[in-house]
Amino acid sequence: MKLLIADDEQLVRFSIRDILGEIPIVFDIAEVGSGTGLVEQVKKCVSDIALVDIRMPGMSGLQAIEQLSRIASNTKWIILSGYSEFEYSRSALRLGVIDYLLKPVDPEELKKTLGRALDIIASETRGEPGALELDRQRDQPRDMPELLVRHAQIVAGRRFREALGVAQIAEELKVTPNYLSSMFKKYTGESLTSYLTSLRLEEARRRLMEPGICVKEVAVSLGYTSSRHFARLFREKYGLSPSDYQLG
């Protein structure tokens, strides 16, 4: 089973190799550090699976995949990115990429995605590509909202300390606030506003235990302009005020 890792960060390539070492499958692994190198390598030897970074010197991962679409039509592409770029996700799906993983790569997510790639290869080997392709095309509309929700969670986790709301997250992901709110609620069972509040209050609980810190300081550090509003939310979630929580 030939597997190609295309990423300009050597440490990322090393970490992926370590994760692959935990899988009970022997991969013939090749590495490249640029989009141009990816094209050259695949032209020499087509891989069964390729893990490709979006942003690389000379040529992006998506540009390389598009250029290789004819000669590597059976390669299972998995995109890697250090950014929550939803527009890239949409482009990747249109190119037939089977998944989009954010860096640093979560070992379990990578194993799960590789398992999916191997299942697809096994199905094609058994002579079922037609049905498989229909299933993948049928799944793509569902993949889009799920990717959107995943990216919204990433943005929220990165920016929850700001005065951040649904509108700001929607703007970063280039979708409407109403659509984002609807999809988030549908796929997670809670509102995006509630998710943001939970992130902030969990961080607040940690920060309140820091020596000498005051409630107002914690509130401001998490994007709350009103310490009274912050205290009300904290009490609703944990059953006691921030000040009482500090007292233990």
pLDDT in tens, 193-208: 999 999 999 999 889 9
Q: Is 49 exposed, middle or buried (0-12, 13-18, 19+ CB in 10 A)?
A: buried
Alpha helices in 58-128 (DSSP H): 61-67, 86-94, 107-125
Length, in residues, of the chain: 248
- Does the model's pTM come out above 0.85? no
Query: Letter for the amino acid at 51?
Result: L
CA distance 113 to 107: 10
Q: Is the peptide bond before 129 cis (omega within 30 degrees of 0)?
A: no
> Which pair of structure tokens corresponds to residue 87?
């527009």
* DSSP label of 53: E
When mean pLDDT is compared across 14-18, 64-68, 129-133, the lowest value belongs to 129-133
- pLDDT tens digits for 4-57? 999 999 999 999 999 998 887 888 999 999 999 999 999 999 999 999 998 888
Give the bridge partners for 6, in sequence order.
32, 52
